Chains A and B, each alone.
Chain A
Amino acid sequence: MSLNPMIDQWYPVAIATEVTQDSRETQLMGTPITVAGSETGIPAVTTAEGRVLPVRLRFGHVWTSLGAPEKDLFEIEEADQPGRRLVDVGVVRVRCSPLRAVENFLDIAHFPFVHTDILGAEPHTEVEDYTVEIREESDEVWATQVKFFQPQAAKSAEGGITTEYMYRVPAPTCSILYKTCPPRPGEWDVIALFVQPLTEELCDVWPWMALFDDDSDLTDLIHFQQMIFLQDRSILENQIPSRLPLDPGKEIPTRADLTSVAYRRWLKRHGFTYGAQLVAQ
């Protein structure tokens, strides 16, 4: 899978505040890289051969690219909105395709079974109709008007509520979730999953949040999100095939999987196939 268009994308490779203390040896799409702190405050990212890669500091993380990105890193307007708490949740390594990690994040139907009594509960398992589109202008996948009954939708939620969601995929390994903000109706809580592809079947996942929540302790917010993500991890590591199939045949989608279908279609359209299985086997 050489010269995949995915090399021209931006990827998270470290938490910005952690690089000042230590340099991080890691890899990006199979290429070993070093993320090192520097006196300028902007970390330096280099390959083993000494090639200097472009760097962005955004959303609490260090971003880089192995290729020549045509576009700058996508925007999340809420990141600059006053009053929000920006939370670096911390890295978690998962033995799965980076595309699988994003696809699982987009799935609503698994809530009652994997996040039982938190993000979902039986018998409230129905996924109501929602809208999915590939927005041509921004070239992003969006799912809107997603509604789901949740016993404890957020750390700040008291008791069960019907939560409204929007999902957005602005880059092949990044997904942003907008959800009802219990203490601030009219605003959306933002929960993002930034995935660093180490290889086609191994990734480092960097969850990040921008929330309106003045009451919860920061540690509680981190632990809530880590709890949710770690409930997914063991399932992600056991999915077969381990790469995300982009052609129909191996997996049969249902209506609830419309977002996943659109995501796969969008990946295929762009040739974003690092971590994908192309021919149905």
Chain B
Amino acid sequence: MKIFDSIRFRFTSGVFLLIIAITALLSILSYKYEEQAIEKRVYAQLNATADLKKELVVNYINERMNDLRALAAAADLRESIESSVHRKAWPSKTGYYTHSYQHLGSFKATYPDYLSIEVTDLKGDVIISSEGDHPPVGHAHSHRKGIDQFIDTLKRGGAVITQDYLDEKERHLDFAVGVRDKEGDIHAVIISSIGLKNMLFPLFSDYTGLGYTGETLLLKQKGDDIIFINETRHPRSKGMAGAEYHTKNTLGRAAASGNEGIDESVDYRGKKIIAAYRYIPALRWGVIVKVDTEEAFEEIMRLRKRILILSLFILALMLPVVYVIMTKFINPIVSMTQKTGAVASGDYSIRVGSHRRDEIGSLQNNFDAMVEALRTSRKEIAKKQLELEDMNAALERKVAERTAELSDANVALTKAAVQVQERVEELEKFYEMAIDREIRMKEMKKEMERLRAELSKHKKDADGR
């Protein structure tokens, strides 16, 4: 029998294949489930971080704006500003000026991110500055260009933020609100320059939870380009070294143009990233919280390896165990096959002698019983055969005797037959002669009758005449 035709091979390989298939299926299902869970966790974490970072910026901006509003609403400062504004000559040495200057100065000193606080008139000329006479009071501040375009909004009590200095060395935002006089009309503007380096940027250089590659970027759209507002965690590629712009950042563009979501992309280093992006309407900025895909899904790679190793381990453990178990089941069958062969060859002394209590044990016991029954039966048959042979011999003898007797009788009979034959022939001859005589007699009789008839006729004719 070929090995491939054997039950051992077929059964064992079938069970092996089944176990491999089940292990593979379970591994794939488990991997997919875990992969999904990891992906969801990564997305949720990035989303949560992006929401948090956005919230931080929004709250920070809101707080700074509220600070400025509170400052602009402070009665003593308003009074000082009003007095200063209405003076024809610039009041750099007056008490009002000193009071306002000190007020602004102490406010500025409270927060490390305030670069300067200045009060201007509606034309944009500086009246009071936390920096004293530097820049010179009474002159339009070169940094206040952006305020001019919002002067109508400011005059009506609005608050504005200008962002003309994001690409400057000292990146800062200018917050501005109007200051009301006693009648409630806006007659001056108070402007605070907030440096981003000391307060806002540190919030974004905290990479907690973002691993070795993750970072948070603040971005702004400028024409077709995207400006990086804060420092990037990784050095930029050669082409971008020192540059503020990156035109290919599609997620940055999406975020800075009013979209929020999560997606995969390629960052400024050309690395594949997964990023959650948010939009800050007040500043028209985008926030991107990103991490390299490789790192974000490193766990998935690890999981893949782990599941592969675990599967191989399970198979390595299972296959010998299965082999042993299969052997335990198959061996009795194979042994039975061999013993059946021996029985078929006429060896009825074969016995399995099983102690098993299962179906195979029962089969083996039945086999033994069957072989025993077969052996007994064979014995009986042999005995009967011998008897038959004896009877046969006796019969044959009798037949031979009878045959001899018959043969003698036959010879005698043949002789008698010959004699009988001779007699028969003699009789036949006699008979033929007798018959011949009889025939002649009959013919003679007929002739005689005919003659009688003719005679009679002649008599009648003669009578008639």
- B and A form one assembly: no
A residues engaging B (CB < 8 A)? none
B residues engaging A (CB < 8 A)? none
